Structure 1
């Protein structure tokens, strides 16, 4: 199965771009970091905040994904049209336990999805890999997704103009999880029953939710 075949069947008309929560009628938007500011005095990074964020996103991931679930790991890379192709190795290699999976990654090119000046000069390459959580270095992957705006490691590589957006698509449970940066993450689902326990257990982290 390819990612777009799955999406057309289960999440029709949803675009893999930030703010998936705003595109879907069932979901949870979490705030991360417990109001701890990212910087200390003299602009020093407040590592306590990031440790809290890492713990929160790990908890959320583990509530949503089991090791044997079938998932798509989807990554959007944004680039100038004139640049050479982005090597998928830089997108996935550090986070795959078995390098043989690199040969299974699919890529498709789309128009640049955001409204900016001269948007026609850019494009989006979307990589997707069908795998299981056990195939991934999940801890490092989650940290890299939340380290977007700060000089922390691990980081995603291979990007040219914008930091990559990474989506975890659980096709076993029909759930999509997206960390947009250290400030928050989004979860959407076909059925709110799938994510209700998450909402009830971690209600203090919830900024808003929809359960239509």
Structure 2
């Protein structure tokens, strides 16, 4: 099934990825690390212990939400100024998919955002998480604002790519935006309640509505 059709059928909105997750129902906002900070106290040095915990939390979340036999959509969205050269977004698939022989079978959409911005979206339905170098991909997402850390995305574009993971077997969308945190969206109240209970310690205090019963 095409991603557009899946989102229309299961989330009643093919543009769900474009809407602010924080404003949508059945959405959780989680912090990847609450106790440590990116920079060491009384220093300009990065706090490596912070990043190790962020890496581990993002990995745990991903493996919780995408079991070994679950299919998943890997979605890459790149924002650019309207009149700038087209974005090349396929490098994420080329770098982080194993044995990527069918790199040209990607779903592609170009979406205008207002008068000044355009989004290039690439998506591919994958048979399981096993075909992704997902540990490295998750680290690259968390490292994107810190040039001294590796792996990282190449910064040829105006913005870093936005990476979404969608589990069509469980109807869960995971969006890790950077080292600070992520959003988890589902379409099912029972599943939402279960996830909220599971991740209660990680709920972000920046979104107090989700802390209320």
TM range, smaller chain: 0.7 to 0.9
Change (3 A) 1:29 1:85: same
1:90-169 matched pairs, under 5 angstroms: 90-112=91-113, 120-131=115-126, 132-151=128-147, 152-157=149-154, 159-169=156-166
What is the alpha-carbon root mean square deviation over aligned residues? 2.3
Q: 1 CA distance for matches of 2:134 and 2:212?
A: 28
Contact 1:192 1:211 in 2 (8 A): no
1:157, CA displacement in angstroms? Answer: 2.9
Deviations 1:152-177 (A, max 9, x none): 22122365111111110100110000
Query: CA distance change for structure 1 residues 111 and 91 in 2, over 3 Å: closer, same or farther?
Result: same
For structure 1, list consecutive stretches of 5 or more residues without a partner in the other structure. 113-118
Tell me which of the two structures has the higher relative contact order, counting C-alpha pairs closer than 8 angstroms and 6 or more residues apart.
1
Q: Matches of 1:195 and 1:62 in 2, distance apart?
A: 17
TM-score under structure 2 length normalisation: 0.86
Q: TM-score, normalization: structure 1? A: 0.86
Which has more strand, going by share of residues?
A: 1
- What number of residue pairs does the alignment pair up? 205
Query: Which SS does the other structure have where 1:101 is aligned?
Result: coil
Aligned partner of 2:175 in structure 1 is 178
